[in-house]
Structure 1
């Protein structure tokens, strides 16, 4: 059974969903999603451990941060861990969540036992240059005729099956007009200065049909020479598309 709660943190309340008991694993979603990205994964990981999927500050039902940055998001993760009395946890992140997870492990290495970076970009100087002038991913202007709903839908339709796209649009609408804040935070992040501080075992996961992140798998792994890699065949941008495969890979890594 999935249970929900709010935790008081220095940056405001953090909303989270949890399942199971035992060793904790904290799950971080992509932008502009919410804990719902892990709806299918939570019960699977919850069979053997305490799985916690949080809404990143500024998304879902969590408090909005004063500044949108990867560092602020990571502080929210550590704030939740403090509130839940988690001295240490495994941390899993997908897309933007992976960048946040990397910063958590870099800023508080003693508190992250294992790290899973799923479909995570390597944001270095070259990556920031490539992103300059790139069209926004999800930014839309709210309109009285509701046409922004179609615009959101059509923008992600090539990468999401319809039943998952509905869930994406719901999460995106909840954070208008700041739907691009997470992507902007990723672009501003100096990841190349931080990944060398990661001390725990790392698993880099790639989804073979993700045109944005899959080409980044080797670049990321090269910066983490002690990491291991796994590929989810047929995996797409939405993590839910191959939830069972993803959960099995994470469980195997956490148990190794």
Structure 2
């Protein structure tokens, strides 16, 4: 498999960190909250055999520059800043959970920069969802404890999303979460505050929706999103909230097959 390399690029927000693998047509992968590029640690070597696969740390997360404002719009600013820093006028864009919402915003505001769009497990942000979520405890919230007990609490909260034998993936989640432990819920709050209804009609980019069959949070939203975006939905068995880690082969195959079937398909051999 192709080698994954990591580096920083300079942007107006400060340094943005990214990992990339392979050569050829650029495909940008955006991670969920509160993760980093490591959500795609198994995807990049597979995709890198066919394309230039790039996974940045979202602005404010991982090793990318810290910011005060957590919003989908600001995260999308960070994506465009990475594209500018890399000199990429046009890419295929893939996002998972929060990353999918960020990708949607980029597609709504800068359609000329995208050749194709893949939205994995994207939540459908509606007023009803906001009302429903407002009565629930913050997602991934813990209070830092002197004895480090908050790390164990985070592990416990996320344990159910990973099968036995997937402890390496859960460890990567924990490392990512502890880097933003003071703002763990802010990425999720940004999703719920996003005005998605006004942005969906602006998306004209060729789009694929996908979701893990065992993702109870995102799967129910997909039929309505498919209608709104007038696009195909692909459901992948054997995966839940952490689809790119749980089924990296199927995830990457779905992305590449979609890109190959498009008008620029010859670029994704």
1:169 matched to which residue of 2?
174
* Paired residue secondary structure (2:247): helix
CA distance in 2, matches of 1:111, 1:22: 17
Give the aligned length: 255
- Paired residue for 1:245, among 229, 250, 253? 250
Shifted more, 117-126 versus 30-39: the winner is: 117-126
* Paired residue secondary structure (1:53): strand
Shift of 1:181: 1.3
Shift of 1:59: 0.4
Alignment of 1:1-256 (within 5 A): 1-161=3-163, 162-225=167-230, 227-238=231-242, 239-256=244-261
* Paired residue secondary structure (2:160): helix
Shifted more, 7-16 versus 24-33: the winner is: 7-16
Task: Give CA-to-partner distance per residue, 1:46-87, whole Å, 9 cap, x none.
Answer: 111110000000100000123100000001000000000000
CA distance in 2, matches of 1:134, 1:111: 37
The answer to whether the Cα contact below 8 Å between 1:65 and 1:72 also exists between their aligned partners in 2 is no
Shift of 1:206: 1.1
* Paired residue secondary structure (1:159): coil
Shift of 1:135: 1.2
CA distance in 1, matches of 2:39, 2:208: 19
TM norm structure 2: 0.93
Task: Give CA-to-partner distance per residue, 1:187-230, whole Å, 9 cap, x none.
Answer: 100011101111111000010011111111112112111x1110
The answer to whether the Cα contact below 8 Å between 1:32 and 1:59 also exists between their aligned partners in 2 is yes
CA distance in 2, matches of 1:132, 1:2: 40
- RMSD of aligned alpha carbons: 0.9
User: Where does the alignment leave 5 or more consecutive residues of structure 2 unmatched?
Assistant: 262-269
* Paired residue secondary structure (2:183): coil
Task: Give CA-to-partner distance per residue, 1:143-176, whole Å, 9 cap, x none.
Answer: 0111111110111111123231111111100111
CA distance in 2, matches of 1:172, 1:17: 18
